[in-house]
Structure 1
Amino acid sequence: MTFSIVGRCAKTGQLGIAVSSSSIAVGARCAWARAGVGVVATQNVTLPALGAQILDLLQDGRHTPAAARDHALGADRWSEYRQVTVVDSQGRTAFFSGKEALGIHHAVAGEQCVAAGNMLTGKHVIDAMVQAFEQASGMLAERLLLTMRAGLAAGGEAGPVHSAALKVVGDVIWPIVDLRVDWADEDPIGQLDTLWKAYRPQMQDYLTRALNPSAAPSYGVPGDE
C-alpha cells in the first residue's frame, strides 16, 4: 500500500521524506519530520502516533534512532503490523518491518537514508530507491522526488497509487516544504513533482516573509505596495 524514502542532506543538514500510497492523504498520517531532530515514516496499518513519539525520544538526546524505534514500538501492542523508518539529525538510521506487514515488503538503510515499502511488486523496488538517493545530487527535495520516481520505474506498488507527499525541514522549526497530493486517479507522484516545481521558485520568498517581512517581495495582490 505504501513506499517511502526518508533522508538527510549531508551538506545542508536538511531532513525530509517523500511517500506515496494507494490510500488517500498519505501525507497526513505517514510523514513526520522535526528540524534539528529527525525524520520518520510510519506506514503499513499506520499508527500516526509513532512518528511524534520517535521524534520526541530523539529530541531528548538520550536515544539513538534504534533505541527510539524500539521504545515506541515496545508500547504498541500491534507493532507487528507496523513499518517504521528513521533518520536522525546526524544521519543515523533505523527501520522495522513487522511480520504482519502487507504483501511483499522490504526496508533498506543506505547512506543517510532509509527506503521502505509494502504491497510491492518486488523487493528490488526498495533497493532501487536507496541506490537512486545515494547517487542523486542537488536539493534534498529533488533527491527525494527522484528517488520516488526510481521506485515507481522499478515497479512500485502492486496496485494503483493515489496519494503522495513531500516534507522537508531545515533551519526553522516549521517545514520549509510541505506538499501533498491527497487523491489522484493517475500519477500522484508526477503531480507532486509538478507541485514542487511550482513551489520551488517561491520557497525562499515565504521564508523571508516569515523571518523579515520588511525585506519580503511584494505579494502581487491589489493594494500591495
Structure 2
Amino acid sequence: MVIRSRRLSKDNTYYALKQKIIDSELEPNQAVNEENLAALLGVSRTPLREAIQRLENEDFLVRQPNGRLRVASVTIKEVEEVFLIRSMLEGYIARSAAKHATDKDILHLTTMMERIKHSFQLGDKQDFVSYGFEFHDYLSEISELRTFEKVLNQLRDHSLRYCRYVSMHGDWNTQADEEHNYILQMIADKNEDGAEKAMRDHILSSLSTALARIKGMEENEIDHIGP
C-alpha cells in the first residue's frame, strides 16, 4: 500500500508539473528550481526529482550547462517539425477513420464538433484547443492504427503546449472551425482520400497560424528590447 501511494505521488507530481508547462503557467525559457517547484506543487523533493527527470527526457525541461533548470523554449523549428510529422501521421489516421467509423462514431464526432463550434463562438480559446484535441484523439482511437497512435502520442503534449501558447497570444480564425467540419464531412461520407487531404490541409493551416504568431511574438520582444 505504501509502494502504491508513493507511485501515485510520483505520477501525480509528474502530471501536475507537465500540465503547468503545457498551460504556460510555467512559461517558455522560465528559470525554475526544485525549491520553488516543490512549493508550487506542494510536494516533497523525492517525487519532484523523478518528475523533473522524466520531463527532461521528454524535452519539457532543459538542464543548462551550469546545472540550472529552465522550461523548454518554443521555437519555430520545433513547432514546424512537430506539425509536419502530425500532418503525415494524422492524414493516414483520418483516412483509416473514414474507413472504420460507425454511425455511433459519427454521432459522437458530431457532438464533439458542436462543442468545438460553441467554444469558438464564445471565444473560449483554451476550450477550443482542448475540444479540438479530443476530436483528433477520438479519430486516432477509431482508426485502428495502433502504431501510428503510439508515435503520435509522443508528440501530442508538445503540440498541445504549442497550440495553447499560440492561443494565449491571439485568436484562431474561423477557418480552423470550418476545417474540422470538413474533416468530419469526409469521414461521414467514407471518403478516405478526402479525409486524408482535409486533415493534412488542416494541420498545415494550423502550422501557418502558429508560425506567424510565434514570429510576431519574437519581433515584439526584439522591439521591446530596442537598440
TM-score when normalising by structure 2: 0.25
Structure having the larger proportion of residues in helix: 2
Structure having the larger proportion of residues in strand: 1
TM-score when normalising by structure 1: 0.25
